[in-house]
Amino acid sequence: MKKMQRPLLVTSGTSVGVVIMAYLLKKAETNAVHIIGTNNNQSDYTSLNQYFENIRLPHSITIIKNYKGIDTPEDHFIYQESLFSWYTSKVKEQLPNVCLAGGMKSMSACMYKAAHLFGAYNVFHVLNENRTKDPVEMEQLVVQQLAVSLDMGIEPGWETFRNLWGINVIEKKISETNSGIHYIQKPIAFNISSHIHDVITRVQEHFSTYLVNEYPFQSLLLLPTDKLAWLREKVDLLNDQAWVAALPKIDLHCHLGGFATSGKNLALVRQAAIHPEKIINTQVIPEPPNWPLPDNTISLDTYMHLGDANGSTLLFDEGCLQQQIKLLYVHFKSQQVKYAEVRCSPDNYRSDKMSSWDVLQFIIKQFDDCMQLDVEEELCQVNLILIATRKKNGDMSSISRHLALAVTAVQHQEINLHTNKCKIVGVDLAGYESEETRAGYFTADFTGVHRCGLAITAHAGENDSAEGIWEAVYKLNARRLGHALHLIDSPSLLQTVIDRKIGVEMCPLANYQIKGFKPMVGSTKEYPLKKYLDGGVMVTINTDNIGISGGAITENILLAVSMCPSLTRLDILQLIKNAIEISFNSKQMKTQKIALFDKLIYQNMLKFKITN
């Protein structure tokens, strides 16, 4: 079987012949040779370069500028830093073969250390008693097996170290004729060796003592010390907006009908109507002064009426519904949202052409179509939560219809539980919240939902007291709570929520607008998000109604910081991690999302430059 070809990395001292021998021993599996050496006058790099040019093999010879050899500890440090930087630039695509035979023993030691840290397909030494410098004679020695390779095997290395630097020093060609020879400057900016030592020590301490990780994502353990210190500091609203905007995010509390309620998006949705003659052109209700951060609170009823121009007014039309979904998905992408649970009321959008079931299948298909256009890391996975809307009075049959729809849908989607396909993952008890409409009144209605394994979230403790939350927890077995602003009023209930790992979906903009939490002028209320987080509540930040509230997930996070000035950057990451863990996604998909966020956040932190 033909071996896969890969680069060969070699150190070089005064005798460059060992480089050619190393190549000859691995000739069948080598597609490029890369050599690093010193500026030693005795080294014949020109003839070495000519050899590889003659056989037309891709190669490079890298020389540390103004550096002749290892005579002092400082020289060793310079060489090791240069070699580490050079090595990482050569292992981006595949692990190389690594030869230890060239140069001084300390150079070989550095090369092996690099292989151990960054990875090598095979580390080997050259066994050859004959010191010939003639390539033809060397080839004969290999054929006669008088020169052999002492293979030491694979070094898996650390993938995170391989991606840290690439070559972060300046390369310069010596001349156009010696196209394979480059100079690199001595490293001056970054102490790679020290950083690696810090990371390994940190990881060893973490796993050897079995301490609870203080970092929400494991990859943060691998960051430079200064960035870890930066993450522990309070969020700087003036300078951290770009950092927050770039973070991958989750939105677990987002209403489909509350998007595109005014402005350009509403116009686009209306223009997409298939039957515009059937649409009542409902006027957009003017927003209160200084919206989305009004001087005074508004009632929940007034808040909801701000969305009257959308929702059931438009979304019974297939064209409008399709456009609404497409625009919402594009919005998620622009906000770096990688997973969202969108709440919808299909029964509210039924028409003489589409039943509730048809509407639900249409919504699922539209989100699936959006997701199919994306590659994995850019995709925003969208699942659905069906809304059971309670009212002050009147016909409550829509609750039964939506619950029946959810139960029926679950029977048709079991094969999609562990895929990125859009599916129903839960039911939300929403609508008017008061003593007369607490969760306990709907216990029997939700029996079928429990029986088929669907998760339940309930708007509780937004307008009602902690008693409303108590009923959602104990009588409805809710896995998540919408808003739960009054949970702080009941320490025993708060402890239950912590112990049961019940999620809390907070929506800062809506909570500001409806309930008057600070930093609203004159407010004496303390927004409980930080206390929930510090106490161990699985609290998250969400949008609620993006169009009505006039803010995306990024704006909600930044407002949360204004309302809780002691939030640290690590707190923001913990809020994101909480959202993954309390999502109604399958265990398998949660694991995949944690791995994806771990990777994306780490990459963002490496690119991000700390400014004072």
Tens digit of pLDDT for each residue in 479-517?
999 999 999 999 999 999 999 999 999 999 999 999 988
CATH superfamily of 241-267+334-607: Metal-dependent hydrolases (3.20.20.140)
Strands 97-99, 6-12: pairing is parallel
Cα 468 to Cα 611: distance, rounded to the nearest angstrom = 45
Helices then strands (H, E): number in the chain? 23, 16
For 299-315, write each residue's pLDDT tens digit.
999 999 999 999 999 99
Identity of the residue numbered 134: D
Compute the distance between CA of residue 578 and CA of residue 565 in angstroms, rounded to an integer: 20
CA distance 356 to 345: 9
pLDDT tier at 373, thresholds 50, 70, 90: confident
Q: Is 565 helix (H, G, I), strand (E, B) or coil?
A: coil
10 Å CB burial of residue 555 (0-12, 13-18, 19+) is buried
Please tell me the number of Cα atoms within 13 Å of 212 on its side-chain side: 1
Instruction: Indicate whether 169 pLDDT > 60.
Output: no
Q: Helices marked H in 483-552 — which ranges?
A: 491-499, 508-515, 529-535, 546-549
Domain spans in the chain, listed from the N-terminal domain onward: 6-192, 241-267+334-607
Most confident of 378-392, 494-508, 590-604: 494-508
Active site residue 462: yes
Q: What is the pLDDT of residue 479?
A: 98
Per-residue pLDDT tens over the stretch 411-458: 887 666 667 899 999 999 998 888 988 999 999 999 999 999 999 999
Residue-averaged pLDDT of the chain: 88
Q: Name the active-site residue from 318, 462, 505, 555.
A: 462
pLDDT at 344: 97
Identify the CATH class of 6-192.
alpha beta
The pLDDT, as a whole number, for residue 38 is 81
Give 43-63 as a DSSP string: --HHHHHHHHHHTT--EEEEE
Q: Looking at residue 603, what is its pLDDT?
A: 86
Using one digit for the tens of pLDDT, what is the confidence trace for 539-579?
A: 999 999 999 999 999 999 999 999 999 999 999 999 999 99
- What's the 3-state SS for 390-453? ECCCCCCHHHHHHHHHHHHHHCCCHHHCCCCCCCEEEEEEEECCCHHHCHHHHCHHHHHHHHCC
